[in-house]
A and B are shown apart, each in its own frame.
Chain A
Amino acid sequence: MSVRHALLALLSDGAKYGLQLRNEFEARTGEVWPLNVGQVYQTLARLERDGLVAVEDRGADGPQRLYRITRAGRRELEEWLVTPPDLSAPPRDELVMKVLVAAELEGVDVRAMIQAHRRYLISVMQQWTRVKGDESALDLHLALAVDAEIFRLEALVRWLDAAEGRLKRHPLARRAQPARPATRKTEARP
């Protein structure tokens, strides 16, 4: 989440104070991404340095400063909205790492390990789904943010399912399963 650009977006409909920006940010992200005031002022200072926002009254101190977006700030915001974020490099996902490491280790019950992760992911999904529970009372921003979270977690669950199937089929990966020793030899035969 780019706090920088979120603040520019909030300033695009009028000048605002720092605290006000923090509250609006949290409301617009469905309070899924809480933000502290210090972070807001730090980001505003950098935006000001880069000429993307301007302070209305330079004499006022922190909380009394009113910020407005500059012309350059508007251009930056428009550019950001249509520029796809760089997703070409795979993120270093810790869960993926754990499974990759486990596949190499002797004596790890990968299937049980995968199930433990699957159970955890689904229980987190259950909690997010509860947030969505009552549709009529659901805030749009919160609903969008929760959907994104649920889809992200679901993708991990599906990856675990696929990984489990692949580990079962792959002759080298089978070696790592603590499967019944009697059958291991025959199973490992190509």
Chain B
Amino acid sequence: MNVLEMRQITKVYGTAPNEVRALDGVDFSVEPGHLVAVMGPSGSGKSTLLTIAGSLEEPTSGEVVVNGQPLGSMSRNERAALRRRTIGYVFQDFNLLPGLSAIENVSLPLELDGVGLRRARAAGRAALESLGLADRADHFPDQLSGGERQRVAIARAVVGERTLLLADEPSGALDSVSGEAVMRLIHDACQRGVAAVVVTHDAQLASWADRVVFIRDGRIVDQTSTSADVEAMLGRQRPGTPS
């Protein structure tokens, strides 16, 4: 079963004659353990796709199904619970709460979900540990480097039993080494079974994905997939005649 399934999603902002069709009949799905990148020019509808997938916004028409549950048939409270329990978000600016330590930031979604403090903190600590941040647990965001803040944001997105990770330009303004580190972390989360969607305009980051989807003017126009055939790839790279 797909973790995320979007069927015939259309999103219209504003009203005629000034309406903007941000998404126009999009079909999109992600299997467990898969990392899908969404690429497209600015204004093509990437962020809209992600916010609708994450139930942060409702489509004008079409259906979103997460882990087999259609969002349209859920109550407000059920959707809120899904956002706390099942879906992790990583945004460009990482959105860490400045007054909370790293561990508090990471375990907050679980606490909001009614998980007891001790269990929430234990899960938070495990997530931080898996990202090599055990010794930063009690630091506040302003005591962390850019790369560390980013890892805390990813820890928060994967803490507990989350199955869907949504990231919008997750490397932000970081350099290419840190960008690669972020993608490695998301890639690792996928190896543990999480399904991830990463929106990016950066081809290097997108190339970490199992599948790259191209969006333009609110429509999916193309996609790639990877064959596992790396050996053939190396064989094919034989040069003509090096001088």
**A contacts, CB < 8 Å to B:** 1-4, 31-35, 39, 115, 118-119, 121-131, 133, 135, 150-151, 153-154, 157-158, 161, 165
B224 and A126 form a contact (CB under 8 A) = yes
What 12 new A-B contacts, CB under 8 Å, besides A2-B243, A3-B242, A151-B204?
Answer: A122-B203, A122-B207, A122-B212, A125-B206, A126-B207, A126-B212, A127-B227, A129-B207, A130-B228, A150-B204, A154-B204, A165-B41
Chain B hits for A118, CB < 8 A: 214
**A153 smallest CB distance to B (angstroms):** 8
B222 and A119 form a contact (CB under 8 A) = yes
Q: Which of B200-243 contact A (CB under 8 A)?
A: 203-204, 206-209, 212, 214, 221-230, 233-234, 237-239, 241-243
A130 and B230 form a contact (CB under 8 A) = yes
Chain B hits for A39, CB < 8 A: 241-242
Considering the complex of A and B, which 7 residue pairs feature the smallest CB-CB distances, nearest first?
A125-B207, A123-B224, A129-B207, A157-B203, A126-B226, A1-B242, A127-B233
Q: How many residues of B contact A (CB 8 A)?
A: 30
B226 and A123 form a contact (CB under 8 A) = yes
Chain A hits for B187, CB < 8 A: 133
A126 and B230 form a contact (CB under 8 A) = no
Chain A hits for B206, CB < 8 A: 122, 125
B234 and A121 form a contact (CB under 8 A) = no
**A132 smallest CB distance to B (angstroms):** 8
What is the bound-complex CA distance between A94 and B158, given in angstroms?
44
Which of B39, B184, B226 has its CB near the most chain A CB atoms (within 10 A)?
B226
Q: Mark B183-198, 1 if CB is under 8 A from A, else 0.
A: 0100100000000000
A33 and B239 form a contact (CB under 8 A) = yes
What is the bound-complex CA distance between A65 and B222, given in angstroms?
56
B221 and A125 form a contact (CB under 8 A) = no
B234 and A129 form a contact (CB under 8 A) = no
B230 and A33 form a contact (CB under 8 A) = no
**B184 smallest CB distance to A (angstroms):** 7
What is the bound-complex CA distance between A135 and B39, given in angstroms?
25
Q: What are 9 of the A-B contact pairs (CB < 8 Å)?
A: A1-B242, A115-B214, A122-B39, A122-B203, A123-B225, A127-B233, A130-B228, A131-B230, A150-B207
Which of B41, B184, B204, B208 has its CB near the most chain A CB atoms (within 10 A)?
B204
Chain A hits for B214, CB < 8 A: 115, 118-119
CB nearest to B241 among chain A residues: A39
What is the bound-complex CA distance between A151 and B41, given in angstroms?
20
**A138 smallest CB distance to B (angstroms):** 11
Indicate which residue in B39, B207, B227, B238 contacts A128 across the interface (CB closer than 8 Å): B207
Indicate which residue in A4, A122, A158 contacts B224 across the interface (CB closer than 8 Å): A122
